[in-house]
Amino acid sequence: MTAAPGKPIPHMGWTPVREVVTDGARAIGLSDGDHVYFAHSFVCDDGPATVVRASYGQPIPAALRRDYLWGAQFHPERSSVPGASFLKAFLTA
């Protein structure tokens, strides 16, 4: 991750996510605009599996899903209600 002006690394804190795939956020237990908690210095590449994205000086894939494979770059366990909703959706998928 390359630092952007005013965006220190590591990226730590609450950041809203934006839906990339229509109804994709709902399918993984999130809503467009939910705030989730990040604590990271690295960013995975954006791609066709990205469901929701955050912005921190650059686009950040926040959650990815391809078939039965799910991934999150945010911390669901620290993300309050949206994080619990994400984990519940994962466990019931």
Over residues 19-71, the pLDDT tens digits come to: 998 888 899 999 999 999 999 888 888 899 999 999 998 899 999 999 889 99
CATH class of 11-92: alpha beta
Which phi and psi (to 5°) does residue 78 adopt? -110, 5
* Interval 1-25: pLDDT, tens: 777 788 888 989 999 999 998 888 8
Q: What is the pLDDT of residue 57?
A: 87
Nearest to 29 by CA among 92, 85, 91: 85
* Cα 17 from Cα 5, distance rounded (Å): 20
Q: Please tell me the pTM assigned to this model.
A: 0.89
Q: What is the pLDDT of residue 5?
A: 85
